Amino acid sequence: MCGRFSLIVAYDELKEILRKTFDLTTLPNELKLPKYNIAPSQQLLSVINDGQDYRVGLLKWGFIPPFIKNKEDIFTIINAREETIEEKPSFKDALNHQRCIIIATGFYEWKTKKDPYYITVNNQKIIFFAGLWNKQSFADESHSTTLIITTKSKDKMSSVHERMPVILDNSQIKTWLNPHINTVSELKELLSKPMSNFDVMPIKTTINNPKNNDESALQPRNN
């Protein structure tokens, strides 16, 4: 699974990356950087394509399935498996029409509670997770939510955990976000070939507490 990640980057650097990649020139006013320890229920920096333009904004991590009609019945999902994503009622519509990418610099995984790791992609400052999003309203409340798609671990991740987030490269993200592409086979082809040239760093258990959202979350650990 993917249950924790980081966005450790300066505003100006992030704005320049988004400008070059999506021709976006602004960031949400509510965005606070850097983020060392992003956890479920927090707001994630995400990009979608509305059919004409790319749009950047914040989505809450914890996808509310479209069949939920009452506030009392709400449950949330933080991950979806790429292997079965097209089969699940929770995700079918979003896979066709509401795909997003989630912007990160790295992610965390645990072999055990006392054995956490920080994972980054070699020579790449920003990485893009494949995601789905949904917007629903209950009474006077509107919820814009998202999840991260995961796949079977590859490369060095295999020694840490059996699952990892689907990380798309710059050529793949444009296809993933294109709302005119809704052929399941083409989308699944993208999800089955994520980036996987990882650097894996053992870190101290400070990361275990989501409240530790500063440099202390990334203290290296000697194996």
CA dist 72 → 61, 69, 140 (Å): 19, 9, 14
SS3 185: helix
- Active-site residues, by number, are 2, 109
Query: By CB neighbour count within 10 A (0-12 exposed, 13-18 middle, 19+ buried), where does 176 fall?
Result: buried
Give the chain's end-to-end CA distance (angstroms, integer).
23
Q: With contact defined as beta carbons under 8 Å apart, do 24 and 124 qualify?
A: no
Measured distance CA(48)–CA(102) in Å, rounded: 9
Q: How many CB atoms lie within 10 A of CB 128?
A: 26
* Strand locations in the chain (E): 5-7, 35-38, 43-49, 54-61, 79-81, 99-104, 106-110, 116-121, 127-138, 141-152, 163-165, 167-168, 198-202
